[in-house]
Amino acid sequence: MSRRHKKARRKPRHLSAGVISIAVKGYGFVDTPEGEYFVLRGHLRGAMDGDVVEVQRLRKLEAQRRQYMQRPSAQQLRYGSGEGDRELLGSVTRVLERAHSTVVGTMHFANGLGVVVPHDERIQYDIFLDRRAEGLIAKDGDVVVVRLTAYPGRIQSAQGYIEEILGRQDEQGMGIEVIIRQHALETQFSAAALAEAEQAAAPTAPAQAAAGALPRRDLRQRCIFTVDPEDARDFDDALSLDYVDGQLRLGVHIADVSAYVPWDSAIDMDARRRATSVYLPDRVLPMLPPRLSDELCSLRPGEDKLAFTVDMLLAKDGSVLSSEFYPSLICSRARLTYDEALEIITGGSSIEPPCAAEVAERLCNLDRLATRLEQRRRQRGAIDFAGVEAKVLLDADGAPVEVRLRSKTRATALVEEAMILANEQVAAWMLQQEAAMVFRVHDHPAPGALEELLPTLQEFGYCRQGPPTNSHEIQQLLDESAGRPEHYLISSLLLRAMKRACYAPKFSTHFGLASTAYCHFTSPIRRYPDLMVHRLLKEALGKSQMEAGALSEPQVQPGSQARPGPAKLAKSKPSKQPKPPAWLSSTQGQLDWICQHSSNMEREAERAAFEATALKLVEYLAPRIGEHFTGIITGVNTYGLYVREDSTTADGFVAAASLPGDFEYEMARQRYRDPTSGQAFRLGQPVDVILKDIDNSRHQLLFVIQ
């Protein structure tokens, strides 16, 4: 057969799939199992930020790589991801799943043609009004929500109709309204959920166990109290600490939300979709109706409340001798703020009688216990990424009036250590029971993620022998940098190199906490996975007690010692796949979806909170244009320097063109350097800046070097 008659064989294309993150400059990154693809602006094929796309690998063209490899990587676009191979060049071949059904933007008219310009600069396409669809009539300059009827492609533009008119751009609070819509956060509960919440009633007496149900123990005689932020409205965790027969008993008492929210009820369906409460500077978007989150379930002082208790008997060194889990009835003696608790354990007291002495004594004992618990976690390899959080205080009109910086204290630590220990005990017991479960898992950093930080770390004089290889070395690096100007930056870089913690129905370890097994059990008012853990734990406890004939035993009397149960952390994986209870489903699929959805919504809530705080920080500093500030350089790229302002933690930008001299960008050393004077601006360097202007669209300060 002649060569010309042979059929040409196409070389199979190398295709991968993943979620695309698009930068404001128009290029994108696709995170796939084989690495991270860099996609040029002309190769997006109509993809929008967050879409699931199919990507084809392209030849590594040197000109393109030299031009674009200095761009910020996806770890500067996403939260907590430091993995990826930036040398993979790709082209989107098709969009598999759309992330956006609506877009928030500003309405504009030109020559009678209506177009919505998205507020999110990562969405690179204007949306034209679809004249075939009926929608609201907006004015030029209105901020609107547009429902997409057609997505951008090779031969068509994005189209949609006006679904909601939010108002004018300059209205107070409009910025946060836009953020809420951009992240598709729910602001209203269904009528059925509100009706169910109104019908719920508070306990009036110790609840008697129904046939086949777990008995609820009366703990109202215990000295139980809560410690929370000053502005907290829902209290879902309380503490107690007592000596029982010479042994220390730590009690962690969590609001029993599952007693009020049955599976598949209207409240449950609303909570499942939301998956988490969202905390914004001017409001809270609760997971549960306020009737539950703020009233019935909240462990307010002086009120009888249904709880789920974890009792742990501890040795002197903080190790757990035994633990037990059961429904309870409690009455909190005091509601303390972190500041009040800190004052007590450092020598003062601000609690009024009659509970001052008993609460203060237990709080000081908890402080000492927390120190031992933290030492034990450090010894096994836990990492402490303690940072500074900005809290923006607003006036009655929603305008920022003050910024307070929060950091870890002995008061926050004692609560944190108690909660971590309770979460570990619940997860370990469920793992031993081989029961269906929602675990909180955190994988090891991806290969190469820590190596990429080595040049930067060595610029500061760290890691001369190589990058950290395990959690102990990561914590050692954090300890070495403590108290130095670059500590925040190093902590942030290491945190970015970590993989994100997530929820999963299958057991895995928690790298950051060095936990053999971990879950979220302690916040069911604001996290749906915690509510699921309560339900699954009740199911497993009931099954375990029925098998042991425990339900026929008398109820433990108030004040008596909790019966020890298996509490050792499990060392191996379950031998078989656990079967979900009948009320959940006959397959594992629904639990898989709940875990994935909760992980996704957690990220959306974090991003919305971050963006809303950044917005209010910019509003707070806007009247101070022309003033001098101090900060630290947290990012360096071809466009300039990113600076974190010290007094508020607000992020600002210094354009490369504004640097005072003939500076050249040195990517390998993450700095700008003037060859003539030798002056340099590098990552982690403290700088004095002047606030020149405000970029309202990006919620960013524009600085110039002083």
* CATH code of the domain covering residue 109: 2.40.50.700
pTM: 0.88
Q: Are residues 474 and 607 in the same domain?
A: no
* β-pair partners for 4: none
Question: How many residues are present in the chain?
Answer: 706
* CATH code of the domain covering residue 50: 2.40.50.690
Region of 440 please: left (phi>0), alpha (psi -120 to 50) or beta. Answer: beta
Q: What is the pLDDT of residue 352?
A: 63
- The answer to whether residue 207 sits within a structural domain is no
In 497-554, where do the E strands start and end? 502-504
Q: Are residues 332 and 458 in the same domain?
A: no
Query: What six digits make up the tokens of 452?
Result: 């990429």
Among residues 146, 171, 196, which one ends one of the domains?
171
* β-pair partners for 636: 641
Query: What six digits make up the tokens of 558?
Result: 């108030």
Q: Are residues 369 and 231 in the same domain?
A: yes
The count of domains in the chain is 5
- CA 372 and chain centroid, separation: 27
Q: Are residues 76 and 133 in the same domain?
A: no
Alpha-carbon span 42 to 48, nearest angstrom: 13
* CATH code of the domain covering residue 646: 2.40.50.140
Query: What six digits make up the tokens of 244?
Result: 């029982």
Q: Are residues 263 and 341 in the same domain?
A: yes
User: What phi, psi does 649 have (nearest 5°)?
Assistant: 70, 15
Q: Are residues 73 and 122 in the same domain?
A: no
Q: What is the pLDDT of residue 298?
A: 97
- The answer to whether residue 542 sits within a structural domain is yes
Alpha-carbon span 301 to 290, nearest angstrom: 18
Q: What is the pLDDT of residue 70?
A: 45
- The answer to whether residue 196 sits within a structural domain is no
Q: Are residues 129 and 231 in the same domain?
A: no
Q: Are residues 580 and 511 in the same domain?
A: yes
3-state secondary structure of 207: coil
Q: What is the pLDDT of residue 376?
A: 95
Q: What is the pLDDT of residue 364?
A: 94
Domain that holds residue 551: 213-442+504-612
Q: Are residues 295 and 155 in the same domain?
A: no
Q: Are residues 489 and 426 in the same domain?
A: no
Alpha-carbon span 534 to 225, nearest angstrom: 21
Query: What six digits make up the tokens of 436?
Result: 């269906």
Query: Which stretches of the chain drop beneath a pLDDT of 70?
Result: 1-13, 59-87, 204-212, 348-355, 549-577, 586-588
Q: Are residues 400 and 362 in the same domain?
A: yes
Among residues 586, 612, 638, which one ends one of the domains?
612
Q: What is the pLDDT of residue 76?
A: 41
- The answer to whether residue 372 sits within a structural domain is yes
Contacts of 181 (CB under 8 A, 6+ apart): 102, 104, 145, 164, 166
Q: What is the pLDDT of residue 472?
A: 94
Among residues 53, 81, 97, which one ends one of the domains?
97
In 43-200, where do the E strands start and end? 52-57, 88-97, 102-110, 113-118, 127-129, 142-150, 158-168
- The answer to whether residue 254 sits within a structural domain is yes
Alpha-carbon span 542 to 625, nearest angstrom: 63
Q: Are residues 510 and 605 in the same domain?
A: yes
Q: Cβ distance 521 to 258 under 8 Å? A: no
- The answer to whether residue 647 sits within a structural domain is yes
Q: What is the pLDDT of residue 47?
A: 94
- The answer to whether residue 314 sits within a structural domain is yes
- The answer to whether residue 251 sits within a structural domain is yes
Q: Cβ distance 115 to 146 under 8 Å? A: no
Q: What is the pLDDT of residue 576?
A: 64
